[in-house]
Chains A and B, each alone.
Chain A
């Protein structure tokens, strides 16, 4: 059971480049999330999805896009990378029911130079 898998783990981007962070879960979870972590700031929610075909903005969505075409996958797209997007990105998922555990991926370290 792989849980939540994120790729790539590390990436360096140049300003203006685009990339997609991949997130896949094999637990049939309906809820999925993307967070970013900046030093001293905790984790901030970028986007989330409550099921296939449904996405919504979190606290810090600017500069990002997401899609949810399947239950398993929730990719995060950076269209025009900026230095402010240098961060650690975490994908998470949960089977939507009170008491269930939220599972996090291992994180993706992104540097924009």
Chain B
């Protein structure tokens, strides 16, 4: 079975600074990987996904993520954060045959002025 670890529970970053959120996964086959964002009281919005091909994936809202097979990682980055990026971020890995997602526990991002 697949699993996901997000080592950072909470990150505080200044507006305009760069952001990196870590994600490590465990899966026996080629994974397919996702990052979702959730604002307070809202549902999940897909930021980006990786299935194959280019290991650097561009997403919405200026986010990107890099798949590193050797490190079993799929870290999310943004060069310059905006106050509206304050939210909870979830990394997820999907199973190849039944598309079930396993989620990490999430990282809460606080943006200070």
- For residue A45, which residues in chain B have a CB less than 8 angstroms away from its CB? 100-102
A106 to B43, Cβ gap below 8 A?
Answer: yes
B100 to A48, Cβ gap below 8 A?
Answer: yes
- For residue A40, which residues in chain B have a CB less than 8 angstroms away from its CB? 9, 105-106
Residue with the greatest number of chain B CB neighbours at <10 A, chosen from A31, A42, A92, A98:
A42
Cβ distance B88 to chain A, nearest Cβ, rounded Å: 10
A101 to B90, Cβ gap below 8 A?
Answer: no
Q: Which residues of A contact B (CB under 8 A)?
A: 31, 33, 35, 40-45, 48, 50, 58, 90, 92, 94, 96, 98-99, 101-102, 104-107
| B96 located at the interface, meaning its Cβ lies under 8 Å from any Cβ of chain A in the complex | yes
Bits for B55-99, please: 1 = Cβ < 8 Å to A, else 0. Answer: 000000000000000000000000000000000001010101011
A42 to B105, Cβ gap below 8 A?
Answer: yes
- For residue B101, which residues in chain A have a CB less than 8 angstroms away from its CB? 33, 35, 43, 45, 92, 102
Cβ distance A36 to chain B, nearest Cβ, rounded Å: 11
Cβ distance A101 to chain B, nearest Cβ, rounded Å: 6
- For residue A33, which residues in chain B have a CB less than 8 angstroms away from its CB? 100-101
Q: How far is the CA of A33 from the CA of B98 in the complex (A)?
A: 11
A48 to B106, Cβ gap below 8 A?
Answer: no
Bits for B14-45, please: 1 = Cβ < 8 Å to A, else 0. Answer: 00000000000000000010100000001110
Q: How far is the CA of A41 from the CA of B90 in the complex (A)?
A: 10
B43 to A107, Cβ gap below 8 A?
Answer: yes
- Chain A residue with Cβ nearest B49: A101
B32 to A106, Cβ gap below 8 A?
Answer: no
Q: How far is the CA of A41 from the CA of B102 in the complex (A)?
A: 11
Residue with the greatest number of chain A CB neighbours at <10 A, chosen from B32, B51, B101:
B101
- For residue B11, which residues in chain A have a CB less than 8 angstroms away from its CB? none
- Chain A residue with Cβ nearest B94: A102
- For residue A41, which residues in chain B have a CB less than 8 angstroms away from its CB? 105
Known: A40-B9, A104-B43. A99 touches B103 (CB 8 A): no
